[in-house]
Each structure stands twice: as structure tokens, then as C-alpha cells.
Chain A
Amino acid sequence: MTDTATTTSSSAATGETLLDISNLSAGYSGVAVIRGVNLHIKSGEVVALLGPNGAGKTTTLLTVSGLLKALEGSVAVLGAPTTFGAPHKTARRGLAHVPEDRSLFFGLTVQENLKLGLRGSRSEQAAGYETALDLLPALKPLMGRRAGLLSGGEQQMLAMARALVGKPKLLLVDEMSLGLAPIIVERLLPIVRDIADNTGAGVLIVEQHVHLALEVADRAYVMSHGEIVLEGAAAELMERRDLLEASYLGGGLEEDA
């Protein structure tokens, strides 16, 4: 677990831009919750989206997937704009979104859940399957079990594995640590690092465990009250705890940033 921190900053990505959010405003029933958000992710990059509760992190992710309508600005996923109302189209282009509630199918077995995530030809499917299970071997003995009977940690692993079997080019993970013991979070988070390194996918993680997130991320954005108030390389942010704390607590940011 500890060696991931050392590899982080070295793998600064230079690949193609997978996600490009520019000047995005979005919200519910016409009321903007996030305003003027600019964010981009390149391939092979792990980006953390941080911020206090209610800052608009989940709203940003929902808009990227096409579950919410952008009021202003644009979202380009894998080179094409997101279509609101058709999240399945964005997903088919290679976006995998692990939402906050995990959205597992509790009535289906682990195997069936995974099967639904598969993409592409038969050999690609087999490869995706293998990659996902190599990263999350704990699922192997649980294949025939109904997802509803899994523990919280196993469910989160399944949600991750289901996203991974499709070999996504861009992965969004919302609050992976929600409701999980810290030890499991410490085990799960480095997996997204491995995914970015091994498959060249771009990863966006929303996390409350700031320290853990910055350990695995290349860069990070910090949101507060619907706006991005801070961004930078993860290593730099690690050293500027004062800035981070200020953005969470809401005071004295302007002069610092």
C-alpha cells in the first residue's frame, strides 16, 4: 500500500484528453448547483475531485454521465459531447461510472452483475474479465452469490469490477469509501492507480479521504459551493494542507489562491 505514493507523481500523463469539462453549470430543476466548472482528464491520469459535502462533486459526475442536463457550458467525453438523457450512449463509448449508491443489481448473482459490464468481442470480454478479477481477486469465490448478500466492501469491489470488465477508457468513481472501513478503503483506492497505469484509462475519483486520495492521484481539484476553488498536482496539494483546510472550512481562500 505504501509504495503507491512514490509512483504517483512520476506518471504524469501526456496522453489524449478523455474528459473535457469547460465552463459547466448544472443543477436540479433549473437551479445551478455547480457553476463555471473547468476540468480535464488525460489518459493514464488519476484525478481526485475533493471538497466538502454539498460542494457539487456528485452533481458534476452525474452531468458527465448524462444523468443531469448541463445548463451552460459543455462536457466532452472521449471526444464527443455527452447527450443528456442517454447515459447508456456515453457508457457504450467507454465511460464507466461507479455512482455513490453503487447501483448494483441485488437480485442478480455476482457473475451476472459482471456479465452486464462486459463489452466488445468475445476475446476482449475474456480479457476484461481476467483483468478485473486479477485486480479484485476477492470476488473469485463469490461468483454464484447474489449481490444483495455481499458485505459492503464486497459490494464496492463488485461495483468496481463491474466497471472494469468493460475495459473503460474513462472511469468515474463516486465516494468509493462511503460506508467502508478505513482498511478496506486503503486496499481499494490503490486499485484505481493500477488501472490508470496498466490500461491507460483516465480515472476521476470523488473522495472524502483527502489524504488517501492525494496519495494515489496525479492531480486534484477542490470544489466548494459549486465552484472549483483549487487545483494542482497531488504532491503539491499534499504539502499545502493549509489551502485544503481553508477550502473545506470556507474561509480565506481568495488571497491564497
Chain B
Amino acid sequence: MKELIIALIAGVGAGGLYAMLGAGLVVAFRGSGVINFAHGAVAAYAAYTFDELRENGDVYLPWFDPIPEFGFLKTLRINNLPVKLHLGEDPSTWLAVAVALLMSAFIGLLMHFLVFRPLRNAPTLGKVIGSVGVMLYLSSIIAVNFGGQNRADVGFGGFTTDSPAVEILGGTIPRSNFYLLAAAVVMGAAVWALYRFTRFGISTRAADENEKGAALLGYSPQFIAGANWVLASVLAGAAGVLFIHKTQPALFVLFVVPALGAALFGNLSSVPGATVGGLLIGIAASGGVELADKGWWPAWLPAEGVRNTVPLLVIILILYFRGDKLPIRGSISIGRQPRAPESNNVLIGLGVCVGIAILLSNIFVSSWEAILTTSLLATLFMFSLVVLVGYLGQISLVQFSLAGVAAFTMTRLAADGTKVRPNDFFVNTGWDLPDPLAALGAVIVATIVGLVVGIPALRIRGVQLAVVTLSAVIALEDILIRNTTLLGEGAKSTNPTPEPSWFGQYVGAFNPDTNRTDYWKYTAFLILAVSLVGVAVANLRRGAMGRKFLAVRANERAAAAAGIDVSKTKMLGFGISSAIAGIAGVLFAYKLPAVSSDNFSVFAGLALLAFAYLGGITTIGGAVIGGLLVAGGLSAETLGVHFEDIDVAYINAVGAIGLIINAIVTGGEGIAMLQTDQGKHILAGLRRDPTIAPPDSVLNLTQEEIQGDVEGALV
């Protein structure tokens, strides 16, 4: 009991961090109506900036060199975009703090002007994609600019690793925990006072509620939004700098999840509420972790899982019971959803794609096998997003984790307790099922988990669902994927995959003869799977079920009024999508000699979502294009001929930029839709070709479009 109380008190340290980040999320939301998934990434960038400056005296600007000095480009000697600035040896700590905060403010300005201002009249979906894009972009840029190595920053001021301990009830808690609590309370109180008493704060609240009204009184909604972006980012930066002594800066990116819980606790509008919520989440998580250490605690629920489940539970409970009371901005319009046409000529497209795939495969003489299968796997996985996000309109960020669940379940079900390959480090015990049964079992498990994750979607939709599923990604990773009790010893590092044999044929990609993952039967197996699933998804869209999906996507109430069982339809969508993700996960595991949780990290999932959007998330053609685009896929590797050693992070950063541009330019329709009339119109606009008429007849205006005109004026 005493330990528990001590743990609860110690929780104010992490709670302080969540509170500070949550307050920043509220500020960004009030200023611009955006739930900023990139908030943690801003904190991470500030923390890295702080540490890098103290260590090496360097400052990295938040972008990358668009023309890397690789391969033949090195000889071109083009004047590149400056990225690194040297501020001298051994700069003072306070300079580092100031630079980190300035960097945050700068990133806030960039986010405002480059992403969220252009997206100001976009539908909710566009804003979510934009903010996920920024999150992916910043984490990729962090990987490019700061590398993956661990940092050991001791902190500054009172916020240091060697902070003296305070003795409470016989236990010790670092004093810095209480400083963090104090910092969170001071920051929260300052922002609260700013919103309560100053003209700027009142006008922010006013514009939050009614942009037109604020503009007519002489307040520029865009100035207010920009200023709040800067304020929110500086708060994030401050949180990053104050907390860096406790953790690795890279981890800040995902601290956005408990911060979202905190912000939701404050109803996305109250800074004191967010502060309290953040502290409570920190305290509850710390207490939960302490309980997980007890002997009676079930071993299958590991401590890390508990830590990351607390915010998930808080978020689900708040959204489930209070979601309808969350603020909706006055300017918000449902907006036009990206179109999801039926795919024409599926069989011809299939034939062409299969033909090209076979040509590129090892069945002939190519050495493109591994690259080809990467693209195929990505396409297969993206089919699950086409069903769920494209057709049904449910923004789920968790699908790739379900692929991971399937992959790990499959290894567990198929393992027989013997060493699979000579140099495997771990030996997995399991049920020794035949491979087809193990795969089936894995897909079923992924489907069930997907359905469970989908339950909140019965009441939670749009951006709120994105919040839930993002937090589910973090929780699932620790509860299921990295759970050694459930999924075998290797779950935390690398789990060996079985050598799959279907009907007497070895269908794994690993070729012991060449020691590479390029065995042709795997490719053929994969082509078959992608073809079958692709045709099934295309037929889904054509049939009655596809129409139901689109009806639910367009308007749930209208769909219900037309006799569609919305709950059932949503569950069906989650089930089908999760099953496809599971199939992709199993086949992904067949490709590798071992799978690790890193293969299914939240960033890998977000990158796939980004490329699926970029390809066109509403059509199977878009999934094919998205599959070509992914890092390690065909187009990236083709470029790689010229850009040797190009990093995954570069490609993901480019993908994130593409995602943001896609959200701004096409409203999220993606490349696949450029062939349609809307696409032709966009292209014509770019070329200033007046001969192609706009697709919407000007006389068929909807109320929203007219409304949009008035709102569009609020620059």
C-alpha cells in the first residue's frame, strides 16, 4: 500500500509532462480547430535541438536537404538548402533553452502557414490527414537530422537527472518530479489567465466559437490562429526541454497520446481541465505500473502495457460518454468527402499488374524480387485501408498494428519449440499448427482484435476516432505485440518466423541458397493473394455492401433512415479491413526470417497510411500506386539507383509532404483520382487551360458550397 502511494505521488512527474503537452493541444485546438497529432513531435524536435546544441553546438533546421549528396548528385555540387547551423563550441544552457523554444515557435509558424492555414476550410478529414502528415514529417526529419542514437541529456535548472530525492513515507521521489508538477501548474495558470483576461485571449475564444463574428469585429482569424500555433508549439518545446532528463527525446512523439487524453479531459477547451487531466493520467499510469509489479498481477498484462493503456482507457471513456459535448467549431462543415468510384476494368488492371509483377519477379531473371514483394505487401495492406477509411470513412490509424498482431500470432501458432534456422537467437514455443491453419488462426485473432478496437467507432467518429485508434496503436504494441507471455520469448526483440509450407510447397521468401528474401514461390503466392483480395475489394465496392459503406460514410443518420443498420455495417467494415490487414501481416512475416515489433511501429503504420492517401485511399488503383510509392518499394528503389544509400526516413519525409499537399490540393483524393474529371480540372488549373470546364455545373450549388464561399473569405 505504501509503495502504491509513493508511486502515485511520483506520477506527478510524468503527469506534469502530459499536463503541459495537453495544455498546448488545447491552445492549438482553440486557435485553429485542429487536433494536433504532431504536438509531441514538436516537443521531440525541441528536445533534440536542446541536446544537440549543448553537445555539439549545432542547430538543425526542421527540414532536410532536398538534393542529398548521394551518388552522381555529389558531383553536381548544387547549392543545397542549409540545414545545419553551427552556433559555436559549448554554448550556454540558457542559450540552448532559448534556441529550443525559438525552434518550436518557428515550427509552429511553419505548421500554420504551410499546412493548417491552407487547410482552414478543409473538411475534418483533411485536417486530420494534415496533422498526421506533420507528425510523420517531423518524426522522419528527426531521424534524418538527429539520427537514431540515444541521447543522455542530464537536463538543466532543477530539472536534472541528479535531482536530489525527497523522502516520503520511507520511499524516495526525485525532487524534479515536483518541479515538473509546479511547471505544469504555472504554465496552465498562465495560459488560463491569458485566455481569461487579455484581449488576445478573449478574441481567441471568440474566434474559436464564431470566426465570422470575430472577423467582423476587426480580428483576423488567421492572425489569431497563427499566434496560437506559436504559443502551442512553444508550450510543447518547453515541455520537451523540461522533461528531457527523464527520457529519450524520440519518445516525446508518442507522448501526444496521453496528452490527447489530458486535452480531452479538459473538453479540448479548458486549459485547467487539461492540466488536471494530464496529472491524473500520469498518476494513474504510475500507480498501475506499480500494481503490475505485484505477485498477484497476471503475467500476461505487462507493466508497459498498463502505462500505455491508461491514456487509451481515459480517451475512450471520455469520448464514449462525453464525445457529443465536445466543441465543434462554428466554421466547421462536413465538407465534401473524397469520391470513391467503382473501379472499372478491374480484370484488365489486374492482368496488367500481375503481368508486370511476374516480369519483375525472380521467375524471370530480375533481381527486383525483394523490392517487388515490399510493394505488393504494402498494396495488400492498403486494401484494408481502402475498405475501412476509403469506403466506410472511418479514420483508423491502428490497422497496421493488427497486421503485427497477426504476424506474431502466426509465429506463435506455427512454432514447434525447435530452432527454425541455425542462427536464430530465440526459439519460439507454440501450438505447432500446420501453416495454413496457423495463418487462418492469426487472421481470426487480428479480426477479433480489430472488432474490439472498432467498438468505440459505433459512437465515435471522424477525428475522435483517429485519436482513439492512435492511442490504441500504442497500447496494442505493449499489450499484445511486445507481450512475451502471450507471444513468445522473442516478442520484445525478434521472433523467428516458421518456414511456411502450404500444401507441401515452401512459400516463404527467405532463400537459404542465396541467403536473401527472394524465393520465387513466395512472390507467386503473394501475387495470388494480392489479386484475390484486390478483386474482392473491388467487388465489395460494386455490390450492395459497398453502397451501404458509402452511405454510412456520407451521413450516418441518413443511412439509418434508409434502413441501413449502421452499427452492423461499421462492424462489418472493421472486420473485413482487419482480416485483410491480418493477411498482409501473415504474408509480411513469411517474407522475413524474424519479425520484431519495430516492423509494426506506429510510424511504419502512419507511413503506410500516408502513402495510401497519396495513392488514393478510395480506390484499389490508389492502393496499387501507394504500394509502389512506399519506402523500399518499386518507385523508391528505382530512384534509389540514383540516390544510393537513401534513407527510409527521407522517403517517409517526402511521403509526409506528399500527404499534406494531397490534403490541401485534392482534399485527400490522391493520385489515382487525377485521371478522373476532377483530376483533369486540377491539372487544367495548374496549366491554366481554360478549355476544360470545371466539373461542377455552377448552377448545381449546394448549401455547403455557398456557405463555403462565405467562410472562404475568412483569410
A: which residues have CB within 8 A of B?
Answer: 28-31, 62, 65-69, 84-89, 91-92, 96-97, 99, 103-108, 112-113, 115-117, 119, 162, 166
Query: Judging by beta carbons under 8 Å apart, are B216 and A28 in contact?
Result: no
Partner of A106 from B209, B710, B715 at Cβ < 8 Å: B209
Select the residue from B215, B218, B712 with max chain A CB neighbours within 10 A.
B218
- Which B residues are in CB contact (< 8 Å) with A91? 215-218
When distances are taken between beta carbons in the complex, the residues of chain B under 8 Å from A117 are 217
CB closest residue in chain A, given B706? A28
Q: Which residue of B lies closest to A63 (CB)?
A: B713
Return chain A residues, CB-CB under 8 Å to B209. 105-108
Residues in chain B near residue A68, CB distance under 8 A: 709-710, 713
Give which listed residue, B205, B210, B220, B701, contacts A88 with CB less than 8 A: B220
Q: Which residues of B contact A103 (CB under 8 A)?
A: 210, 212-213, 216
Are B715 and A85 in contact, with the CB atoms below 8 A?
yes
- Asked if B709 and A29 sit within 8 Å, CB to CB, the answer is yes
The answer to whether residues A97 and B709 also contact, given A30-B698, A31-B699, A105-B209 and a CB cut-off of 8 A, is: no
Interchain nearest-CB distance for B433 vs A (Å): 59
Q: Assess whether B206 is in contact with A66, with CB atoms less than 8 Å apart.
A: no
Query: Could you say which of A30, A86, A162 contacts B217, with CB atoms under 8 Å apart?
Result: A162
**A105, A106, A108: residue with the most chain B Cβ atoms closer than 10 Å:** A105
B197-216: which residues lie under 8 A (CB-CB) from chain A? 199, 202-203, 205-206, 209-210, 212-216
Is residue B219 contacting chain A, with contact meaning CB distance below 8 A? yes
User: What are 10 A-to-B residue pairs whose CB atoms are below 8 Å?
Assistant: A29-B709, A31-B701, A84-B713, A91-B217, A97-B216, A103-B216, A104-B213, A113-B206, A116-B199, A116-B203
CA separation between A25 and B701, bound complex, in Å? Answer: 19
Q: Is B167 an interface residue (CB 8 A)?
A: no
B706 contact set on A, CB distance < 8 A: 28-29
CB distance from A178 to the nearest CB of B (A): 16
Task: Check B205 against A108 for contact (C-beta < 8 Å).
Answer: yes
Give the residue among A88, A107, A166 with the most B Cβ atoms within 10 A. Answer: A88
**What residues on B are CB-neighbors of A66 within 8 Å?**
713
Q: Which of B206, B210, B215 contacts A87 (CB 8 A)?
A: B215
Residues of chain B whose beta carbon lies under 8 Å from any beta carbon of chain A = 199, 202-203, 205-206, 209-210, 212-221, 698-699, 701, 705-706, 709-710, 712-715
Given contacts A28-B701, A31-B699, A116-B199, contact A88 B218 (CB under 8 A): yes
Chain A residues positioned under 8 Å from B210 (CB to CB): 103-105
Residues of B within 8 A of A88 (CB): 214-221
Does more than half of chain B's interface fall in helix, strand or loop, or is it mixed?
A: helix
Nearest B residue to A111 by beta-carbon distance? B202
Which chain A residue shows the least CB distance to B269? A107
Residues of B within 8 A of A107 (CB): 205, 209
- Whole-angstrom distance from the CB of B693 to the nearest CB of chain A? 12
Of B206, B217, B701, the contact of A29 (CB 8 Å cutoff): B701
Q: A29-B705, A119-B218 are in contact. Are A69 and B213 (CB under 8 A)?
A: no
**A70–B389 alpha-carbon span in the complex (Å):** 39
Using Cβ atoms and an 8 Å threshold, which residues of chain B touch A85?
Answer: 712-715
Known A67-B713, A84-B713, A88-B217; 19 more pairs at CB < 8 Å = A28-B706, A28-B709, A66-B713, A67-B714, A68-B710, A85-B712, A85-B713, A91-B215, A96-B216, A99-B212, A99-B216, A103-B213, A105-B205, A105-B214, A107-B205, A115-B202, A116-B199, A116-B202, A116-B219
Residue in A30, A67, A96 whose CB lies within 8 Å of B710: A67
Among candidates A87, A106, A108, A112, residue contacting B216 with C-beta atoms closer than 8 Å: A87
Q: How far apart sit A86 and B715, CA to CA, in the bound complex (Å)?
A: 6
Least CB distance from B213 to A in Å reads 3
**A30 to B213 alpha-carbon distance, docked (Å):** 24
Q: Which residue of A lies closest to B696 (CB)?
A: A29
Query: Chain A CB within 10 Å — which of B210, B214, B215, B220 has the most?
Result: B215
Query: How long is the Cα–Cα vector from A151 to B210 in the complex, in angstroms?
Result: 19
Bound CA–CA A181/B215 (angstroms): 29
Our pick among B199, B214, B705, B715 for the contact of A115 (Cβ within 8 Å) is B199
For A69, list chain B residues within 8 Å (CB). Answer: 713
**A86 contacts B220, CB within 8 Å?**
yes
Known: A28-B709, A30-B698, A87-B713. A67 touches B212 (CB 8 A): yes
Q: Which residues of B contact A119 (CB under 8 A)?
A: 218
**Which among B217, B221, B699 has the greatest number of chain A C-beta atoms within 10 A?**
B217
Closest to A33 in B: B706
What chain B residues lie within 8 Å of A86 (beta carbons)? 220, 715
Residues of A within 8 A of B213 (CB): 99, 103-105
**In the bound complex, how far is the Cα of B715 from the Cα of A68, in angstroms?**
12
Q: How far is the CB of A36 from chain B (nearest CB, A)?
A: 20
> Which of A68, A107, A117 has the most chain B CB atoms closer than 10 A to its own CB?
A107
Report A-chain residues with C-beta under 8 Å of the C-beta of B714. 67, 85, 87
Q: Which 7 pairs between the two chains have the least Cβ-Cβ distance?
A: A103-B213, A91-B218, A85-B715, A105-B206, A87-B215, A92-B218, A88-B220
* Assembly CA distance A106 to B202 (angstroms): 12
Considering the chains assembled together, what is the distance between the CA atoms of A104 and B217 in angstroms? 11
With the chains together, A214 CA to B394 CA distance in Å?
55
